Structure 1
């Protein structure tokens, strides 16, 4: 078993991620091979496989890491789902999607779907964490999960649609449309 805290392991994983990101900027995902990644990272294929099952696992890790790196501290530490927290999640999600699709070539619909699902899942987890930390800890777990899933879907769907049909430089309009919809939908129950 590989020691995940070993500096050499961390450095090798970083080389692999950087090589993969560079390749995604130049080639579509489907045409990138493990050989391409290994050559760019100056490692051999066996070393790649010692760290990742395949390029899909690598894509998932990069997607998750980039998303988690963007979560503002105010969202990470939030105890209530306020207008400001909602705005932060909308903006973060929109910018993440915009950057991801503009920087990385997501020409493959199955791969774009995989990335989209991962982002929605991470957004849902972030919202669940806020609801659980806040005044809604009394809600049943399934109720929290359902509310989080609906809220994440609304935010993600709107942010994704704005990328294709919105005025990309007018994110204030996006927030102005989405926040009232989300916050009215989150007319959450009060603690007993």
Structure 2
């Protein structure tokens, strides 16, 4: 059933009109964030800025938080791709995710002030959880392991360590930090699989 739902959604994700509308909505939100607080931006303003109607917004996102999360997901995956990292297997995937989070946090601090001030954990944590859930679906969990809790725990661990790294004066290179995060979080995953 899940595969049938994924197959049905696949054409939608590649339809150029859908991709264009989503890109326009994301770009509109970025422009608006340079002018005002996220909480003060309405869906109508986003739609107007994107030169789309409000109904089109709702065809793609249930609310502006979902749009923000989609922007975060796209940006995070772009950072991973820019470094040439892939998730073809589990070896190195955790390090790639940790490195992506370090890059994401480092780049976000250089963004327009609104993006830098926003509580970014609300948008990046669900993205990391989703990636971990995708990976967990490919492995048989140990008896009694709650894969959702596992993904949440690992996502917060990676985010927390990367955030601490970002706040450390004279910090080590992101690649070195990603290796340290991998060494600390990997045992959690290993203990959760058979």
Contact 1:15 1:41 in 2 (8 A): yes
Change (3 A) 1:49 1:128: closer
Instruction: Summarize the alignment of residues 34-113 of structure 1 with structure 2, pairs less than 5 Å apart.
Output: 34-45=43-54, 47-49=56-58, 51-72=60-81, 75-78=86-89, 80=90, 82=91, 84-104=92-112, 105-106=114-115, 112=119
TM-superposed CA distance for 1:85, in Å, is 2.5
Bigger RCO of structures 1 and 2 (CA < 8 A, at least 6 apart): 1
Q: Secondary structure at the match of 1:103?
A: coil
Structure 2 residues without counterparts, runs of 5 or longer: 1-10
Pairing partner for 2:133 from 128, 131, 153: 128
Runs of 4+ in 1 over 6 A off after TM superposition: none
TM-superposed CA distance for 1:158, in Å, is 0.6
Q: Give distance in 2, aligned partners of 1:20 and 1:120.
A: 20
Higher mean displacement: 33-42 or 93-102: 33-42
Contact 2:80 2:100 in 1 (8 A): yes
Equivalent residue pairs, number:
180
Matched, 1:160 2:163: yes
The CA RMSD over aligned residues, in Å, is 3.4
Structure 1 residues without counterparts, runs of 5 or longer: none
Identify the residue that residue 14 of structure 1 maps to in structure 2.
23
Q: Give distance in 2, aligned partners of 1:189 and 1:50.
A: 38
TM-score by length of structure 1 reads 0.69
